[in-house]
A and B are shown apart, each in its own frame.
Chain A
Amino acid sequence: MTDVNEQLAEISPLNGLHGEEGAAGGRRLLAAARTFAHNRLGLAGVLIVLLMIGFCFIGPLIYHTNQVYTNLNQVHLAPSLAHPLGTDPLGYDELGRLMVGGRASLEVALAASVIATGFGALWGAISGYIGGLADTVMMRAVDAMLSVPPLLIVLFLATIYRPNVPVLIIVVALVAWLIPSRLVRGEALRLRTLEYVQAVRVIGGSHWRAISRHVLPNSIGTMAVNVTFQVADAILLVAAMGYLGLGIPAPGTDWGSMLSSGIDYIYSGYWWLIYPPGIAIVVTVVAFNFIGDALRDAFEVRLRER
């Protein structure tokens, strides 16, 4: 959702007042890393994400639970020593389920964001670099896709293709590449006018060389910032799909699907079905947003101080 800010930054009349200098790639990355290291919220975000990844991927190796067979003898058990977060309507251990569900949510969100940002950056770089009619056609296609709420497209696709992790990755990536393509196009428009990029043509290099050696590497900051925000959005999107019944099918699960099974028990007071998955989603999404903000400051994608 933060992407909208970036989208708007692109069209803002004040844009260009705060442009960055084209510096050598390595030095710039180092400077960015140094700025990032001083951002406490950003570091907290990294720490939370690492803890969450550890919880979801290493946790099940330490905390063994049965997440395949239902056990109707022990449904809706309140939290106890045997089940720290109780059990769900099918008798699964809720803490173990949180790990399994988190794994699916994180896998989908991370993979979809990386694929989407990569593809979007390529699309935007080509569009902005070539310019002219091709640019117009490619960007109007992006505008049109952006006009349809992502949830509609994603739900439509999920009714046709049975959701599982690879399918969800592709479906989410399909709606997530649009914003990065716009942002990188903005970079490409600026970069292609610079002398050292035009020099590639003069020395006989191909257009592709200009794009792959100069436009894309110089957009790395924009891409890095965007990919973290994309992860945050993707986690919410996957949760929404799960909640609406089109998430990972049983016996697998994701955080949204877990909430969707908890919603039936609001009036029964089974709080352990409602709070843990919700809090897991919020904490993870906030953490990724912290990282995104810190990266934005570090790469000076917009104002350094916000």
Chain B
Amino acid sequence: MLRYSARRTAHAVVVLFGVSVIVFIMLHLLPGSPARALLGPRATPAKVAAFNQQYGYNKPLFIQYFTWLWQMLQGNLGFSVKLNENVTTAIASRLPGTALLVGLANLFAFVIAVPVGLMQAARRNRFFDYVATGLAFVFYSMPAFWLGLLLVILFSEQLHLLPPIVPQASFGQLLTHPGDIALPVITLTLITTALFSRYMRSSALENLPLDYVRTARAKGMGGQQVLWRHVLRNAAGPLITLVGLTLPVVVSGAILVESIFNYPGMGLLFWNAAQSEDYPTILGVTLVVGVATVVGSFIADVLYAIVDPRVRLS
């Protein structure tokens, strides 16, 4: 286990380095120079020179990279002129909201997808399987924003049950008013469930013909018992890794969901930044989300290795 963890940690560190290089490349893709992009077209040459001096943009590229990396490691993501706020503070105040949205969606999706996928595999090519497969197809083929729109039409416009827009409240207020964030969470949950249940179904199908299932049956265990006691645990294991792997996809969905419902999170921050060409914020969010994804899939892999020892040995 220790060797596996060490190997996996080294991998995560290398990938984190890669993520930082990507964001650094993005910084240099900005029109003109980083100074022009960050200070705006009307900045005086003196200001540009001062900026280049301060951030080391007049030095060779690899020195620039390490200077920049050093700033990032200290948690200094730069200053957003558009928000008149430190990017680090701007992200920190919205991170919990997105974490809540993505966390709840993943949790609910996991809880729904595991039994549904298992039952689909057990009743393969029967009515329940067809209905669930059909629904999964439709939901993951649906653009997140359109699904959100349809839910708004149904729950807000027709039934007047839930608010179409999330109030711009603090994280604590979001927690105490679950009704306000219900629609965004439902939207993201439906899409994520479609993703997970398809995998759970095929994972369970792969397990059903294996020897341990036959052994359990031979010992006289009932079909349902084998399914819920043994197959469930074996088939749901890989799903832990799936949660890590799909994090970028779910976060992409979260950006869309946040922009529909005006949900106060990093996705909305990013979208607003993209519309006002607020590059420090765009790059800051990209870096933070990239790092969070790497850390998330690292945790998922280590968890999976704890649950399923076969992974460690391969």
Scan residues 219-255 of chain B and give those whose CB is less than 8 A from a CB of chain A.
Answer: 238, 241-242, 245-246, 248-249, 251-252, 255
Are A259 and B146 touching (Cβ within 8 A)?
yes
Q: A156-B282, A156-B286 are in contact. Are A144 and B19 (CB under 8 A)?
A: yes
Give the interface segment out of B67-75, B78-86, B169-177, B287-295.
Answer: B287-295
Which bucket holds chain B's interface residue count?
Answer: 35 or more
Q: Of the candidates B149, B260, B289, B314, which one forms a contact with A152 in the assembled complex, judged by CB atoms under 8 Å apart?
A: B289
Contacts of A303 in B (CB 8 A): 202, 205-206
A window 229-268: CB within 8 A of B: 232, 236, 239-240, 243-246, 256, 259, 263, 266-267
Instruction: Say yes or no: A144-B146 contact (C-beta < 8 A), given A1-B140, A4-B195, A149-B252.
Output: no
Instruction: Tell me if A149 and B146 are in contact (CB < 8 A).
Output: no
Across the two chains, which residue of chain A brings its CB closest to B29?
A160
Contact pick for B251, options A149, A158, A243, A281, CB 8 Å: A149
Are B144 and A240 interface neighbours, CB within 8 A? yes
Residue of A nearest to B17 (CB): A144
- Tell me the B138-167 residues at the A interface (CB within 8 Å): 138, 140-146, 149-150, 152-153, 157
Considering residues A13, A152, A159, A244, which has the most beta carbons from chain B within 10 angstroms of its beta carbon? A152
Classify chain A's interface size. 35 or more
Assess whether A82 is interfacial by the CB under 8 Å rule: no
Question: Does the CB pair A12–B270 fall under 8 Å?
Answer: no
A13 partner residues in chain B, CB cutoff 8 A = 308, 310-311, 314
B285 within 8 A of A: yes
- Assuming the contacts A147-B290, A149-B289, A267-B157, asked whether A232 and B141 have C-beta atoms less than 8 A apart, the reply is yes
Q: Residues of B with Cβ closer than 8 Å to A?
A: 11, 14-19, 21-22, 26, 29-31, 137-138, 140-146, 149-150, 152-153, 157, 195, 198-199, 201-202, 205-206, 238, 241-242, 245-246, 248-249, 251-252, 255-256, 259-260, 270-271, 274-275, 277, 282-283, 285-286, 289-290, 293-294, 297, 308, 310-311, 314
**A residues bordering B, Cβ < 8 Å?**
1-2, 4-5, 7-8, 11-14, 140-141, 143-153, 155-160, 232, 236, 239-240, 243-246, 256, 259, 263, 266-267, 274, 278, 281-282, 285-286, 289-290, 302-303, 305-306
A244 touches B256 (CB 8 A): yes
A144 to B20, CA, bound (A): 9
- Please name the residue on chain A nearest to B137 by beta carbon: A286
Cα A157 to Cα B282 with chains together (Å): 11
Quick check: B141 and A289 within 8 Å, CB to CB?
A: yes
Chain B's closest residue to A136 (CB) is B14
Q: A5-B202, A148-B286, A149-B289 are in contact. Are A259 and B15 (CB under 8 A)?
A: no
Give CA–CA (A12, B235) in the complex, Å: 11
Which B residues are CB-close (under 8 A) to A8?
199, 238, 241-242, 245
Complex contact A144–B144 (CB within 8 A): no
- Checking A144, A246, A256, A282 against B15 with a beta-carbon cut-off of 8 angstroms, the contacting residue is A144
Q: A256 to B286, Cβ gap below 8 A?
A: no
A-B contacts, 22 listed (Cβ < 8 Å): A14-B206, A143-B11, A144-B18, A144-B22, A144-B290, A148-B19, A148-B293, A149-B248, A150-B248, A151-B256, A153-B26, A155-B282, A159-B277, A236-B141, A236-B143, A240-B145, A243-B143, A244-B271, A245-B275, A266-B153, A266-B157, A278-B150
With A8-B241, A13-B314, A245-B275 as known contacts, state yes or no: A152 contacts B152, CB within 8 Å: no
Q: Give the residue name and chain of the A residue nearest to B23 (CB).
A: A148
Cβ-defined contact, B286 with A152, below 8 A: yes
Residues of B contacting A11 in the complex (Cβ-Cβ under 8 angstroms): 241
Contact of A259 among B143, B251, B311 (CB under 8 A): B143
Chain A: minimal CB distance from B148 (Å): 10
Question: Distance (Å) between the CB of A185 and the closest chain B CB?
Answer: 16
Nearest CB in chain B to that of A12: its residue: B238
In contact, B138 and A282 (Cβ under 8 angstroms): yes
**Chain A residues in 8 Å Cβ range of B30:** 160
A274, B152: Cα distance in complex, Å: 12
Question: Of B146, B153, B199, B260, which one neighbours A5 at CB under 8 angstroms?
Answer: B199
**Which B residue's beta carbon lies closest to that of A11?**
B241
Q: Which residues of A contact B142 (CB under 8 A)?
A: 278, 281-282, 285
